[in-house]
Protein backbone atom coordinates (compact mmCIF):
# COMPACT_ATOMS: atom_id res chain seq x y z
CA UNK A 1 0.00 0.00 0.00
CA UNK A 2 1.42 3.36 -1.00
CA UNK A 3 2.09 5.74 1.83
CA UNK A 4 0.47 9.08 1.42
CA UNK A 5 2.46 12.14 2.26
CA UNK A 6 1.23 12.68 5.78
CA UNK A 7 3.77 15.18 6.95
CA UNK A 8 2.04 17.56 9.31
CA UNK A 9 1.23 20.95 7.96
CA UNK A 10 3.59 23.50 9.46
CA UNK A 11 1.73 25.43 12.10
CA UNK A 12 2.97 28.65 13.59
CA UNK A 13 3.97 28.07 17.14
CA UNK A 14 1.38 29.78 19.36
CA UNK A 15 4.09 31.46 21.38
CA UNK A 16 5.58 32.94 18.22
CA UNK A 17 2.39 34.66 17.27
CA UNK A 18 2.64 38.38 17.15
CA UNK A 19 0.65 40.08 19.80
CA UNK A 20 0.98 43.03 22.06
CA UNK A 21 2.92 41.66 24.98
CA UNK A 22 1.29 42.14 28.36
CA UNK A 23 4.39 42.94 30.36
CA UNK A 24 4.30 42.16 34.04
CA UNK A 25 7.13 43.31 36.26
CA UNK A 26 8.63 40.28 37.96
CA UNK A 27 11.25 42.16 39.91
CA UNK A 28 12.93 45.54 40.03
CA UNK A 29 16.48 46.38 40.99
CA UNK A 30 17.65 49.94 41.66
CA UNK A 31 21.04 50.65 40.08
CA UNK A 32 23.10 53.79 39.54
CA UNK A 33 21.68 53.93 36.01
CA UNK A 34 18.10 53.73 37.13
CA UNK A 35 15.75 50.92 37.99
CA UNK A 36 16.17 47.66 36.16
CA UNK A 37 12.81 46.04 35.54
CA UNK A 38 12.63 42.36 34.82
CA UNK A 39 9.39 41.91 32.93
CA UNK A 40 7.57 38.90 31.55
CA UNK A 41 4.70 38.72 29.12
CA UNK A 42 1.66 37.24 30.82
CA UNK A 43 0.43 35.84 27.51
CA UNK A 44 3.47 34.09 26.08
CA UNK A 45 5.99 34.05 28.91
CA UNK A 46 8.69 35.89 26.98
CA UNK A 47 11.04 37.93 29.14
CA UNK A 48 12.68 41.30 28.75
CA UNK A 49 14.82 43.64 30.80
CA UNK A 50 13.82 47.29 30.89
CA UNK A 51 15.67 50.23 32.33
CA UNK A 52 13.66 53.01 33.89
CA UNK A 53 16.09 55.91 34.14
CA UNK A 54 13.74 58.22 36.03
CA UNK A 55 10.67 57.46 38.10
CA UNK A 56 8.52 59.49 35.71
CA UNK A 57 10.10 58.19 32.52
CA UNK A 58 8.61 55.24 30.71
CA UNK A 59 10.95 52.25 30.84
CA UNK A 60 12.97 51.50 27.75
CA UNK A 61 13.79 48.02 26.60
CA UNK A 62 17.38 47.15 27.42
CA UNK A 63 17.31 43.66 26.03
CA UNK A 64 15.70 41.96 23.16
CA UNK A 65 12.91 39.67 24.06
CA UNK A 66 14.26 36.56 25.70
CA UNK A 67 12.39 33.36 25.18
CA UNK A 68 11.64 31.28 28.18
CA UNK A 69 13.76 28.15 28.24
**Interface ranges with Zn ion (CB under 5 A):** 21, 41, 43-44
| Nearest to Zn ion of 53, 68 (CB atom) | 68
Q: Do 66 and 48 touch, CB atoms closer than 8 A? A: yes
Q: How far is the CB of 41 from Zn ion (least distance, A)?
A: 3
Q: How far is the CB of 16 from Zn ion (least distance, A)?
A: 10
Asked if 35 contacts 29 with a C-beta cutoff of 8 angstroms, the reply is yes
Smallest gap from Cβ 14 to Zn ion, in A, equals: 10
Task: Provide CB contacts within 8 A for 6, sequence distance 6+.
Answer: none
Amino acid sequence: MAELDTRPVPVAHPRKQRHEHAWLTESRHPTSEGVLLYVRCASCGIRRVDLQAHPQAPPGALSHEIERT
